[in-house]
Amino acid sequence: MTQTEEMLSELALAAAAAEGRLAAADSLEAVTAAEREVLGRRSVMAEAKKSLGGLDPDRRRDAGRAVNQVRERLEAAAGRARARLAEAARAARYESERLDLTERLNPIRRGRLHLVTQARDRLEDVFVGMGFTVVEGPEVETAWYNFEALNIPEWHPARGEFDTIFVNLGQPEEVMLRSHTSPVQIRTMEARRPPIYVVAPGRTFRADTADATHLPAFSQIEGLVVDRGITMGDLAGTIDEFVKAFFGGEVKSRLRPSYFPFTEPSAEFDISRPDGSWLELGGCGMVHPQVLSNCGIDPEEWQGFAFGFGIDRLAVMRYGLDDIRELVNNDVRFLRQF
């Protein structure tokens, strides 16, 4: 073997070893060190280059080409090692910066609207669909709105029937938790001129003992229509339409003659239970001329009808409950079903 061949084979061995180290290098420092060892100033490569000077031109060209090929291979191997390390560093950074969002994929236990709220929303939808607007009134009322303007003077026996809860304000029995939503009729007629088509849902209060069909705090929805030429037929038709929209075809309804001081004639409105019995849902009738006059509306020109239904009882019927108290027991196992 000539000296040049010896030198080239030594270079090839050193290059192979360096390539192995580059492929396994786990840091940029290791890459640089391996590179310097074969390509650096005091390396086998440098020695090889030096020795090329002593060769005749032909052999120098071949040997030079061989040396250059080794250098290129090593440079390429070093480049690959650097790219591999850069990629690994980037992957490690992504991993460390990654946000774990898997928890969001677990089912979230969501709350839901209470049955009475659902029934109230549904009622509003049904009446808005029939052309009514929704209004509200205060839960604490004066005797004027809760009774007097509704044609229930102080001496009237109907006052006693409401089992009113009074608030300790002003004159005795002057301020109270409203015992029905009918005061909103008065507030509406004071504030608007006919034609009027409104419903007023809201909470109402009575000193009633809770039983299967009564709660001391419950909700009603009041309806009031004032227009020209309104008759009892319009009232019956509206109730009929509402029952169909709210319950579907199965539930039957009936009107029964009754008495309220603020309507004349008056009726009570029942719906059929699955067992064939009737549940009283509310009162209704033609707005009493005195009530129209109390609000500055001329009863000769305008007529109206009004109704007041119990929303909790509607919910009981719609969701097939057998006791109205289920609505306020706050048992989540019950509430979650709806």
Backbone dihedral angles phi then psi of residue 216, each to the nearest 5 degrees: -75, -25
Q: Is 261 in the site for ligand FA5 (CB under 6 A)?
A: no
Question: Which window, 9-17, 41-49, 249-257, 283-291, contacts ligand FA5 (CB under 6 A)?
Answer: 283-291
Element (H, E) at 51: helix 44-52
User: From edge to edge, which strands make up the β-sheet containing 217-227?
Assistant: 133-134, 196-205, 217-227, 303-310, 278-287, 263-272, 253-260
Q: Shortest gap between Cβ of 105 and ligand FA5 (angstroms)?
A: 43
Torsion angle in degrees (nearest 10) through CA of 191, 196, 199, 205: 50
CB closer to ligand FA5, 137 vs 285: 285
Q: Which of 156, 166, 279 is nearest to 214 (CA)?
A: 279
Q: Shortest gap between Cβ of 182 and ligand FA5 (angstroms)?
A: 4
Q: Shortest gap between Cβ of 230 and ligand FA5 (angstroms)?
A: 14
Q: Shortest gap between Cβ of 283 and ligand FA5 (angstroms)?
A: 3
Q: Is 206 in the site for ligand FA5 (CB under 6 A)?
A: yes
User: What is the footprint of ligand FA5 within residues 219-238 (CB under 6 A)?
Assistant: 220
Q: Which of 221, 244, 217 is nearest to 310 (CA)?
A: 221
CB closer to ligand FA5, 132 vs 260: 260
- Count how many residues are written for the chain: 338
Give every CB contact of residue 268 below 8 A, 6+ residues apart in sequence. Answer: 255, 256, 257, 258, 280, 282, 283, 284
Here's the x/- map for ligand FA5, 290-309, by CB under 6 A: it reads as ----------------xxxx
User: What is the footprint of ligand FA5 within residues 145-204 (CB under 6 A)?
Assistant: 180, 182
Q: Which of 124, 121, 24, 119 is nearest to 81 (CA)?
A: 24
How many residues line the site for ligand FA5 (CB under 6 A)? 23
Q: Which residue is nearest to ligand FA5 (CB)?
A: 310
Question: Which window, 121-129, 133-141, 192-200, 206-214, contacts ligand FA5 (CB under 6 A)?
Answer: 206-214
Structure-token pair, residue 192: 């608007």
Distance CA 176, CA 165 (A): 6
Q: Among 159, 260, 297, 304, indicate the residue that binds ligand FA5 (CB under 6 A).
A: 260
CB closer to ligand FA5, 37 vs 139: 139
Three-class DSSP category at 282:
strand
Q: Shortest gap between Cβ of 265 and ligand FA5 (angstroms)?
A: 10
User: Is beta strand 303-310 parallel, antiparallel or unpaired with respect to 175-177?
Assistant: unpaired
Question: Which window, 76-84, 87-95, 245-253, 275-283, contacts ligand FA5 (CB under 6 A)?
Answer: 275-283
Distance CA 330, CA 14 (A): 83
Are the beta carbons of 55 and 102 closer than 8 angstroms? Answer: no
CB closer to ligand FA5, 127 vs 307: 307
Residue ranges that bind ligand FA5, judged by CB under 6 A = 180, 182, 206, 208, 214-215, 218, 220, 260, 263, 280-285, 306-310, 312-313
